[in-house]
Structure 1
Amino acid sequence: MLPLHSFTEFIRQQELFEAGERILLAVSGGKDSVLMTRFFRAAGFQFGIAHCNFGLRGTESVRDEEFVRALASELEVPFYVTHFKTKSFASSKRISTQMAARELRYAWFDQIRQEENYAKIALAQHQDDAIETVLLNLVRGTGIAGLHGIQAKRDFLIRPLLYLNREMVDSLIRSNEIAFVEDSSNSSTVYARNKIRLEVIPRLKEINPGLEYTFMQNIERFAETEILVQQAISSAAAGLIREENGVLKLSIAAVGSLHPARLLLGGALKTYNFSETVVSDLLNSLSGQSGKSFYSDTHRITIDRDDLLLLPLDQNVIQPVSVHPDDSLISLPGQKIGIRQSEDIRFERNQQIAYIDAAKLIYPLVIRQWEEGDRFMPLGMRQFKKISDFFIDQKVPLPLKSQIPVLLNGNGEVIWIAGMRQDNRYKVTSSTKKVVIFEQKIK
């Protein structure tokens, strides 16, 4: 008989799922996942079984799939299976086979969860898996999150066997004569996790026979500590990152006063995917020259006088757009340009609006970002000025220059720098019969 009380009590205490919810079980066919499946059936929970065939172990992979299929058939529960080209995926992503398998299975599990209306995905990891994860994270380098390893509940993932250790699992398998299949790769020390499981943990148990209990206590403490750290990081980020005109900014003085700086700034920038190395380089460059940039996969931070500017990499790169006489709205990254015509020659002083003499326009017009060598005659002046010099005079931050639309006439002359200044040659005069009004609208 399976000890159901401890199983259901752990689920209740950890609030893993509600009674009546359908749970998707990730079942490989090994002893851990099969034991979890038997627990779910004995407890009367509603569940389905999902199995991944990674195609890495030849006939053994086929055997595992057939075993799990037969198990689902015996229990009369829904069965889902998929086949992955794991090595090809790993090669294309330039990641390890193990990492590729992890990415593939979690993405597929979540797809099934959503499509088939399951509340949670149950994984059969136990205390020894948690210990292995912590040790592996320590060896590879980790923040405090890596010290609590895997948790009983995180988002849609639950681990209902996390109250058991490996010895307990083996004992339950033997005493209940539960059939399972053995993955031969588990005995190989080629993989780092297996090396820790087979060589490191046994040595540690010689020092502390109650290693599982000690680690689970430490993991719980680390998880609580992480909560405090995240609260401190959230508080620091709230006062550190501000938005001005759609741009996120961090005061260099405020960043310099952070302590501990790398932890707090790194935490505040984690959402934007900046690595610890980049954060360290940034902190060492706060007194450097304006214009220097630091990159993550999705964002960049640029030093600009007294601030750090935080911008998405793909934001507001303006590609050339043609403007025709019947156009009324041009969409650009982060903004729109409205266009209308009027015979009412009145105008207002608003840098977001340009009032242009319609008779001077040569279609098609072009909207693009500024280019080196561009020049115009600022409204109210009779001399030309390079747009690059104009930007400097206006103290436009370097990363924002490419986000400012420049409207050109069909003859190549600059008509308007959107949101800043129009060209004096195209202004409305007493002889103007019709005006074309261009208005910048920030999304």
Structure 2
Amino acid sequence: MNRERDEIAVVGAGLAGCLLACFLARRGYAVALYERRPDPRTGTVERGRSINLALSERGLDALRRIGLDEQVMADALPMRGRMVHPVLGEPGFQSYSVSGDRAINSISRGALNNALLEAAAKLPGVRIAFDHRLVGLDPDTARMTFETPQGTATADARVVLGTDGAGSAVRGQLLEHGLVTESVDFLDYGYKELTIPPAGGDFALDEGALHIWPRGTSMMIALPNPDRSFTCTLFWPTHGTASFASLGSKAAIEQHFAAHYPDLLPLAPDLVDDYQHNPVGVLGTVRCDPWQVNGRVGLLGDAAHAIVPFYGQGANCAFEDVVELDRCLTECDDDWSGALPLFQQRRQGNAEAIARMALANFVEMRDKVASPVFRTRKKVEHALERALPGRYVSQYEMVSFSTVPYAQVRRRVRRQYQVLGAVAAGVLAAVAGAAVAIGRGRRR
């Protein structure tokens, strides 16, 4: 008996892949988890690639289902709102929820990945192969070819699931076979990480907030870490006179930050070194179709639908993919040829919805959060949520603090805005009518 032929192969031992391995093992499957990198539990983190995650309800819901939520949340730091840093003046806090007590959670991507990897490794039926880079895949037979330190190796599987990120090798193999189509829309923006260390053994900024420096054409955010540091991420244009490409020398970097981020310089003693040596990452949206081929090969998470990070939903969305696939397997009696198409049918519209919302939220964070009009709109939204509990719920609350499907969130928000528009028009008409009546009365 060939044990490999009975295994479900999960290619990519990142967040989604490790979680998926846990869910599949719980269902009684033999799982082979393949990863191109060495074991991250024993290696060093690549410089400038440790973007924190904002874990919210969708991700927590998935972790609860396998009993990992309390373990993961032990090192999480709740952020109940945005702290907006202007160029001049004091920072201002904007609560995420109407009650002020709901929070998204800052957590280390590496720590979460290691916790999920440990959980998968402990489950019966799961084997993990590191240093295995997928270089070949036969979609008809599910035979895989890997490059390893020992040379080329092949492996068979019952089903192959690609959870290997935006640059998915599994998706690349399906593209080579002409079985899927793909579009990748890159932003003219990149990202670079900086660090704010602890100050006197404590946090240098309020640890209960996501800090944001909106600057119109660019922005920076900072998320707290358990060691009392902050991981800052610059989102800047990649070309032009005010971009990553325009700053090179130590003097130019210091001058730019003094002008645009004056409160950061005293807090980040290694800013220039971080800026000069940390890489610039790319940002983009990946779409492909279909997400599966003949019930033998499937794609999940970023491998199927990578999004930009501006709603903090990338990992949360991928975790929700895993929950939905598990649900589809149950409904299809573990018939993969039925479950994988059903999974795509249910998730593709939701993936597109959050992709669009993430792009729109970039504009909001970069351009709008510091404006008086935006702050007034948020106050009105919170007032409506208090006056109409359960009937009016803001988009942010539904995305971050519920498991309402993303596509349903967009539809509901559009209906709410239509109602608000009609009410506002009615109020304006009434005010105008009253003004006319008063004018006539005065003329008499």
**How does the TM-score come out when normalised to structure 1?**
0.20
* Structure showing greater relative contact order (alpha-carbon pairs closer than 8 Å, 6 or more residues apart): 2
